[in-house]
């Protein structure tokens, strides 16, 4: 029952996220792209989204443990909509991985536990 409720909440957040992000926005992105010279992980989400709040905790822990090697950034739909359009984010939460030159090298849709993010960062050779 708990798993079913969690799945329903996650799907609900994804559907609502799509509806929120579906609105037409200005094509002019005002946010920043990842700083060159350091790989980055951007977490796209919304403050009201339960899985996104879980990812905020994961990102905070990763910033503490690996912030010297990777830039970790939370990007919220209600604060930085142009970045959502720039990176074509349709569902939340979405993690976008950028190499040291600022080029997108991978992305994942849905929440990830800290261990899975660390595994992905190691696969991409962002961390040792």
Catalytic-role residue among 21, 49, 55, 117:
49
**CA gap 65, 114 in Å, rounded:** 11
Catalytic-role residue among 14, 21, 40, 52:
52
- The torsion angles phi and psi of 81, rounded to 5 degrees, stand at -55, -40
Active site residue 13: no
Q: Which two tokens stand for residue 24?
A: 């037409």
Query: Is the distance from CB of 97 to CB of 124 less than 8 angstroms?
Result: yes
Q: Which residues are catalytic?
A: 49, 52
């Amino acid at each position: 029952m708990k798993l079913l409720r969690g799945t329903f909440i996650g799907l609900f957040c994804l559907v609502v996220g799509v509806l929120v992000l579906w609105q037409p926005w200005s094509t002019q992105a005002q946010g920043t792209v990842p700083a060159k010279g350091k790989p980055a992980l951007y977490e796209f989400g919304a403050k009201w989204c339960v899985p996104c709040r879980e990812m905020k905790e994961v990102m905070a822990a990763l910033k503490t443990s690996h912030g010297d090697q990777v830039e970790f950034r939370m990007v919220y739909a209600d604060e930085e909509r142009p970045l959502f359009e720039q990176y074509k984010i349709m569902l939340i939460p979405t993690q976008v991985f950028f190499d040291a030159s600022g080029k997108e090298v991978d992305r994942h849709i849905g929440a990830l536990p800290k261990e899975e993010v660390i595994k992905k960062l190691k696969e991409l050779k962002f961390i040792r």
